Each structure stands twice: as structure tokens, then as C-alpha cells.
A and B are shown apart, each in its own frame.
Chain A
Amino acid sequence: MSDVSPGGAGQPDDDEPVTAYGRTGPPLPPDAPPGPLSGATPDPVPTPEPGSVPTPVPARARPRRPPSGAPVTGRPGRGGERRGSGRSLLDRRFARLGWCFATPALLVVLAVTLFPVSFSIAMSLSDVEVSADGFRLSGFTADHYRLVLGSERWRHALMFTVLYTIGTVLVELLLGTLIALVLERLGGAGRGWMMALLLLPWAMITVVSAQLWAYMYNGVYGVLTTLSENVTGEPVQFLGTRVPAILSMAVADIWKTTPFVAIIVLAGLMMLPSDVTEAARVDGAGAWTAFWRVRLPLLRPALTIAVLFRILQAFGLFDLPFVLTGGGPGDATESLALLGWQAMFTNLDFGPGAAVAASTAGLVLVGCLLFLRAFRARVGDEEAGR
């Protein structure tokens, strides 16, 4: 257990409702209004995550909390609250200190992400001229989007990326859950070693794994080609034609990222209160029913995180096709990110490239929102506040 519990786990947050997401919860239900996030659960005492074993809230922590899900902003700071008179002064000093502490980090993030993203959007909407000594944006035009969204190649990349994402994430979810169940049963030192082994592909440079699979798939001396010849009597050309190339890339991807899903699900499994499963068993539920009806629903938060992060990653698919297939054969494995990158840096078409990039980012955002909304609707109120 201690193997997977996050550092401060167990102790519910003694703080404002941002943590309604919970420590292990899905990071953002962005359809919640950004202000009083706790809106869905006006619960003065933080609800422990459904998955975790509730530990008693330290007695001292309770009275300090504001009476109910008060909005984060406009609430008097706790520092002052306790000290009675002169609180606004102290409070203001603490706030100023807070900004001193937080500003450097926020500035760096702003400079390197928000500014470029807005610039990217601007670039996708204007004429871009890149020359040896700089670049110029002029005028407003939707031509790039018209050009890109109307092109066969973009539609193909979109189709490929979406289907590939759905396919690989589904397989990873299934395999990852199975692996997690096996590891949960394994217990003890065996589980520790297995987890260490599973972390290796995850921590590996994706380019390395891509080169490795390219070598194993090689049509002449690849070990998998030889193996396939032994099995089917004829060597399979893994990367030679469309469908096998897509499937082969998916296998390489699944090899690298299933462990990630497995570990998250395993952590979720280990946080389930054991009494629930026991109760189900006492009530006569078989192992299968107990899993399907009792544990799987409780696992949903863990599964959501895993799926969300995998979707985001898979949608940005770049390293693997860049090295393994170069987007080929033809444009069979050309993902949106690869298409956008090639447009910008191979062909130096910054405008259309930015349009691809911006539309990809937009799709990711919309996809995540839809996913989270579906998830919340399905789970209902009791978990939605997390």
C-alpha cells in the first residue's frame, strides 16, 4: 500500500475547494466554472476521495474551515482569521508575500506557453512571411484554415490520429487493467519488481523505443519478421503497407504506454477500501461480479485520469511516426502533429502549419471537455464534485 500512496495521502485537504479534484482525482473538470469550483459540492469538510480509505480529519483542522463552500476569492485569508484584530494588514502582507513567491513561476509559464499560443493563433490567421532576417505577419485571413481543413491530407491525418488514439487507448486500458489485476494478486516483493520493470518503457526516450521497434520490424533482418516467417511460413512486411504499418506502430506504442495505465489502475485498486469487496463477497457475489459490479465502478476515477492523459499524449503523437515510419507508407501513419511540423519546418509553410497546430490544440481541448462531461454525467453527483 505504502508503495503507491501519494505523499500526503489520506489526510483530506485542509484548504479551499480547488482540491475538490482530490489528490488523485482527475485534474480538471474544466466545465466547472473557474471561480467557486466547489459549486457542485457545498461540503464544508472535504470529502475524501471515494477511492481512498478515509482517515479522521485532524480535530484542529475542522473549525478553521469557512462555513460552507464559499468562493475562493473574497474569502478572508486564514492567516488573519485566526489573529483577530489587525487581520487585514497581516492578510495583505501575506498576500503580497504570496504574489512574490508565485509570480516568477507564473511569469515563466506565461512567457513560454500562453504568449506563443496566442501568437500561434495569430499566425494561423494572417499572412506570414518568413525570410532569413525575420518574419512578418500582415493582414487577417482565413485562407490557411480553408486550405488546411479542405485538404485531403489533413482529413486523413485527422482520421488517422482520432482512430489511432481511440484504438490504442482502448487496448491500453484493457491490457493495463488486466495487468494491474494480476499485479494486485501477485503482492509482495514480486509486485515491487514488476512495477520497476513496468516503469522502464515508460521512462524510456520514445525515440529509442521507436528505433528499437524499427529494427525489430525490419523487413530483412528484423527479429519479428523472422518470427512471423516461422509462424506463417512467409515473412510479414510490417511497415510496408498501410494497415500492417498502422497496427505495428500501435503495438510499439502499446508496449511503451500500457505500463503507465497499469500502474495508475493498480494504484487505484490498492486504494479501494477492502471492506467493500469483502461485503460483496459475503453477500455471495462471485469474483467476477464483485469486480464488475463493485470494484470497477469505484475504479472509475483512476481510469479517467489514465485515459485522459493517454488521450492527450496519443493525440500529440509525433516521435514514434517521425522515427518509425516517417509518416509512411504514403501518408498512412501521418499524425496531425507530424503533418503540422512538416508543414512548418520542412516546407516552411508557417501559416498553414500554425493552422494545423492550432486546430489540433483546439480539438484536444474540446475532446477533453467532452470526455470529462460524459464522465461526470455518468458518475452522477457523488463523484462529480471531486
Chain B
Amino acid sequence: MKRIRLSWTHGAALLIAAFVAAPLYWMAASSLKGRTEIGASPPDAWPKDGTLANYRDAFLDNDFGTYLLNSVAVAVVATVLVLGLSSFAGYALARLPLRGKAPIMVALLMISLFPTIALAAPLFLLMRELGWLNSYQGLILVYTALNVPFAVWILRNFFLGIPKEMEEVAWVDGASPLRTVVSVILPQARPGMFTAAIFTFTACWTEFLIALTLNTADRYRTMPVGLALFGSQFTIPYGTIFAAATVSVLPIALLVLVFRRAVVSGLTAGAVKG
């Protein structure tokens, strides 16, 4: 009885794994196929003569290298800003006697759940006034603001779990508030910082609507925009797209694999956008 059940479970797990992995395999395999093979019908299950031509095309002849760097730059800077802003705000909302904490937390949540389409037009007009269309700072500012609420929630929960004695000792020893937060509290909340960082990074990395609205100039496109707008109406160069796409999946895959625990704990902490 027990053995049968065990193998049934394994069978189901394999099926699930296959369903999840098959499209990913297809993407990676197609990125290695030559120009004729990628449009072959019926398609080959395995790239017959593997070639890196698509990767050359994407990163040397086209601008996917720039898009990738733009994505990394925007996501990294936004993540750093989000962590900086949210750790102090999260600490204040967890520990300091502020009036109206509850309404603030609820408002933050409502905001973090808001559909971005409602922000697209006013942000476009705002950035146009500021001259920040097609810039890094415009996108970074928006991404920072969109991800602060969730990060505040995560970090606040972590701060609440840190024993109060730690900071009391620091106060008594005469540490300044800033010092207390930076050298006593933040190190304790490292797992929370990780989680918040990974979620912010992933959200920025995948965001499309706002990036499409604000940064359409070739030089400032992020990866999602670059991938969506590549090709003409009549031909879609899938080989090039998948070469770039495969490269874009790698960093996030690495991040997710290495910090699996942090990601899962963030998912369970109640929320995810993206």
C-alpha cells in the first residue's frame, strides 16, 4: 500500500515538473536553432546543429545588451532605494509610537494592490512635465514607490519578531536612534531584507506596462519592452528573441534558486505582485 502511494506521488510530481519545464526547455532549445530550423515544420525536438548565431544577433547586432543593462540598473537602484526607505519606515511603524499606524498600513496595502493602468496616464504626463520620459530616474522613482508598500509590510513583520531587549540595550548604552537601527536592528532583520529585496527586484525586472509607457526610446528600453517591441509586424525573429529571453531568465533563475527560502517566506508573508 505504502509503496504504491509513494510511486503515485512521484509520478504526479514528474508530470508537474514536465509541464512546468517543457516550455522553458523549448525556449532554450529554440534559442540554439539556426534561422531555417527555427521556422521548420514540423519542428525538431532538439537543435540539430546548435549555433550561437542568435545570441550574437541579439547582443552584438541588436541592442539587447543595452536593454539588459537598463533593466539591471533600474532594478538594482530601485531595490536599494526601496530597502533604504522601507527599513526605516518599517521600523517606525513596528516600534515607535506613531499615531495612525493602522490606517497607514492599510493605506499602503491598498496602494500596493492598485492596478498600474490607473497610474499610467498621469505618470506619463507628470514625467513629461519633468522631462523624465525616457530616463532612468523616472522609472526608478516609479518602481521605488510601487514597491515600498509591500517592502514596508514585510520588514515591519520582521522587526516585530526581533526581541525588544536588543534595542533597549543599545538605547541604554547611549547609541543614537540612527545607529541603533543601522547596527542593531537591520542586521537582525537580514532575512526580511533579503525577502523584500528579491521581491522588489523581481517586480522591477518583470514590470512592463509602466516601462512601456515611460521609456520607449531605444536607449532606455528595459528588457520586457525591448522583447515586446522587437521585430516588425510581419516577421518576428524568434531566434533572436529567445536568445535574449534565455539570458534574461538566467539571472532571475539564479537569484530564485539561491534565495529560494527567502522567496517562499515572502510569498507566505501574504503578498506578491508580479
Contact = CB atoms under 8 A, between A and B. Distances in A.
Interface string A1-39: 011111111010111111101011111101000111100
**Size bracket of the A interface:** 35 or more
Contacts of B129: 134
B270 interface: yes
A91 B245 contact: no
B106 A30 contact: yes
A366 interface: no
A112 B206 contact: no
Contacts of B274: 313
A340 B145 CA distance: 22
Given A186-B9, A223-B26, A357-B121, A15 B160 contact: yes
B116 A7 contact: no
A175 B117 CA distance: 29
Interface stretch (A74-82, A148-156, A375-383): A74-82
Interface stretch (A193-201, A238-246, A277-285, A290-298): A193-201
A37 B104 CA distance: 12
Interface in A183-198: 183, 185-186, 190, 192, 194-198
Interface in B109-146: 109-111, 113-126, 129, 141-142, 144-146
Nearest to B101: A72
Contact of A97 (B120, B149, B177, B189): B177
Nearest to A34: B103
A223 B43 contact: yes
A364 interface: yes
A316 B260 contact: no
Given A6-B157, A30-B110, A99-B92, A35 B103 contact: yes
Contacts of A101: 88-89, 91-92, 96, 181
Interface centre among B20, B88, B241 (most CB of A within 10 A): B20
Contacts of A108: 85, 141, 144-145, 148
A192 B260 contact: yes
Contacts of A114: 111
B30 A215 contact: yes
A208 to B, nearest CB: 4
A3 B122 contact: no
B115 A337 contact: yes
A11 to B, nearest CB: 5
A259 B273 contact: no
Nearest to A7: B191
Contacts of A79: 96-97
Contacts of B158: 7-8
Contact of B269 (A23, A78, A195, A361): A23
Contact of A105 (B88, B109, B206): B88
A130 B124 CA distance: 12
A80 B97 contact: yes
A305 B103 CA distance: 20
Nearest to A312: B113
A212 B121 contact: no
Contact of A255 (B23, B30, B189): B23
Q: What's the dominant secondary structure at chain A's contact region?
A: helix
A89 interface: no
Given A13-B160, A23-B269, A197-B17, A204 B206 contact: yes
Interface stretch (A117-125, A138-146, A166-174): A117-125
A112 B145 contact: yes
B228 A322 contact: yes
Interface stretch (B49-57, B58-66, B248-256): B248-256
A97 B12 CA distance: 54
A28 B260 contact: no
Contact of B260 (A11, A123, A195): A195
Interface in B28-49: 30, 38-43
A187 B39 CA distance: 42
A363 B12 CA distance: 38
Contacts of B115: 312, 315-316, 337, 357, 360-361, 364
B145 A113 contact: yes
B157 A120 contact: no
A205 B97 CA distance: 40
Interface string B86-100: 101101111011111
A204 B249 contact: yes
Nearest to B126: A116
A34 B260 contact: no
Interface in A212-228: 212-216, 220-223, 226
Interface centre among A13, A116, A344 (most CB of B within 10 A): A116
Interface string A309-326: 100110110110011000
A204 B103 contact: no
23 contacts: A7-B269, A8-B162, A16-B101, A77-B97, A98-B92, A105-B152, A109-B111, A112-B119, A112-B146, A120-B119, A134-B129, A185-B5, A194-B13, A194-B17, A200-B253, A201-B20, A203-B205, A212-B27, A221-B41, A263-B267, A319-B224, A345-B120, A350-B125
Interface of B: 5, 9-10, 12-13, 16-17, 19-21, 23-24, 26-27, 30, 38-43, 85-86, 88-89, 91-94, 96-111, 113-126, 129, 141-142, 144-146, 148-149, 152-153, 157-158, 160-164, 177, 181, 189, 191-192, 195, 202, 205-206, 208-209, 212-213, 223-225, 227-228, 236, 238, 241-242, 245, 248-249, 252-253, 255-257, 260-261, 263-274
Given A18-B105, A102-B89, A199-B256, 20 more contacts: A6-B268, A7-B157, A14-B160, A17-B102, A24-B268, A28-B109, A73-B100, A77-B96, A79-B97, A116-B118, A195-B264, A200-B256, A203-B256, A205-B227, A208-B248, A211-B236, A267-B268, A360-B117, A361-B117, A368-B113
